[in-house]
Structure 1
C-alpha cells in the first residue's frame, strides 16, 4: 500500500478499519490498533478526518473544507491532496 500515489478529484477516500480516535480540544488523537502507532491531528486535519466518516470523493472533501475555512480552491486542493497522500502513506485511509 505504501509508495507513490496520485490523487484526483474523483478518487473516493475512506478510513481504514482499526483506527481508534479520541477528541482532545480541537485536535484528534488517533491510534492504529494493528500497528500500535499514535497520531495527533491538528484542527484542519481533524476536519478532514471527520469529513471522511463515510467514504467521500476528494472533491467533496475539498468542498467541505471550503465551507469551513476562508481559503481559495487551488490552495485548499493542494493542501488537502498533500495531506491525504500522507494519510495513505501511513495506511490510515483507503483510496479508490
Structure 2
C-alpha cells in the first residue's frame, strides 16, 4: 500500500515529528511505500491563501496525492479543524 503522510510542525524534534518518524518506520517495516511531505521543510505557508496556488510549476506535483492509497496527517493540536480551543 502507498501511504502519503503530510507532516506540518515547525519543530523537527517535536512529539509530532517523533510520531511521523515512528509511523514511517513502522509502515516501511510492514512493507508499505511511505512518502512524507513536510510542509515546513518545503517552506509552505500554512496560513493558506491564493499565494499558495497561483501557479503549478510541475503538473505532476499534485497528481501524487491522487495516487496514494492512504493519506495521514501529522500536525500540532493547535491547528484543530474543529475550531474549538484546547
Q: Could you state the TM-score of these two structures normalised by the residue count of structure 2?
A: 0.31
Instruction: Mark the structure with the bigger radius of gyration.
Output: 2
More helix by share: 1
Q: Larger relative contact order (C-alpha < 8 A, sep ≥ 6)?
A: 2
More strand by share: 1
